[in-house]
Amino acid sequence: MRTRSKPLLRDEQVAKSKAKRPRDPAQPNLPFDKMPSRIEPALALLKPKPPSGPDWTFEVKFDGYRLAVHIEPGGVRILTRGGHDWTHRFPEIAKDAKKLGVGTAILDGETVVLDSVGRSDFGALQRSLGGRGGKRVSSEAVFFAFDLLYFDGHLLTNAELSVRRHLLTDLLDGNTGAIQLSEEVQGDGDKLLETACTHGLEGIIAKHRDSKYRSGRTGDWLKIKCVQSESFVVIGYERSSVARGGVGSLILAARDGHGWKSVGSVGTGFTERDAIYLKQALEKLETKRPVVPIKGKNIVFCRPTLIAEINFRGWTDDGNLRHASYKGLREVQDNAAIFQIKSRNA
């Protein structure tokens, strides 16, 4: 049996989503909807505090790769947030999807590798895939499904979240393999966030119970983090003769419309091994024409190709990351995750 996700609460008074009745395998007498080849994912809007009131439900915020599992008559497809086919990278998830006993479905969720106490570990997920650009497949990854977008021939994006979650719970409740149900709880958001942070989790996700599934950051879903973490491109590095691996710091940028904006640098969080790999990769990307002009000594500019996941504590008044720390590199196919400046104050 695989490790289960760290729960938000063990309080018996907190209501959890439960299936009301077993799923009827007979198809309902309704017209079928064509199965979409892909649905642009709904994204959570960053907020400093959880919302309050009975209209909101909460889940653990996982630290992994956002994926959609498409179960089709001809087999299973696993798509990244940007639409790339990664079925071959997660064979155990694909195998478990075939065992669910459903003709057609699209599950939305996050793929993670859990540590010994049930916390998602982004570094462990990267290592299981062989690092950035690695060719390994991950047998350790677990897909935590938190939404059901298409089911038994019917598109569910116009159904309320509470309805979609009920159907998803019917389908997955009790699964302990490579596909599991993301825990949903109702309760006080502030208490749940405090518990998540105490347990060393990334934070929590809040979702409006009556919301339809709408692509993009609409405000129906909110993310509240214990420590902020986002993806930025590396546009250069500070060469150092004393730092381990020869990299003093990485110069970072975020998307700003159709261009880029510098958000400062990060000089902590990477090991000597990380620094050696980063320098080798960045040397191949060197350019004389920086995407963002930056002044400083010993700066080597690079094309915006490497995507770094960064922990930070907030933003300075001039738009730079505060107390940034390097977590790891994302795959180049995951460019949809790069932070957009326009969403910072949304």
Three-class DSSP category at 327: strand
Round to whole Å and give the CA distance between 178 and 181: 10
Round to whole Å and give the CA distance between 257 and 341: 8
- Spatial CA neighbour of 56 closest among 39, 67, 44: 44
* Residue 321 contacts residue 264 (beta carbons within 8 Å): yes
65: amino acid identity, one letter: Y
Round to whole Å and give the CA distance between 280 and 273: 11
How far the first Cα of the chain sits from its last, in Å, is 41
> Does the annotation mark 191 as catalytic?
no
- Spatial CA neighbour of 270 closest among 281, 285, 286: 281
* Residue 153 contacts residue 31 (beta carbons within 8 Å): no
Task: Return the exposure string of 25-34: e unless at least 16 CB atoms fall within 10 Å of the residue's CB, then b.
Answer: eeeeeeeeee
* Residue 202 contacts residue 193 (beta carbons within 8 Å): no
What residue has token string 């859990």? 114
* Residue 105 contacts residue 151 (beta carbons within 8 Å): yes
How many other β-carbons are positioned within 10 Å of the β-carbon of residue 54?
Answer: 7
Catalytic position from the list 6, 16, 61, 225: 61
Beta strands in 257-313 (DSSP E): 259-266, 299-301, 307-312
Round to whole Å and give the CA distance between 303 and 233: 9
- Spatial CA neighbour of 80 closest among 343, 332, 340, 345: 332
Residues marked as catalytic: 61
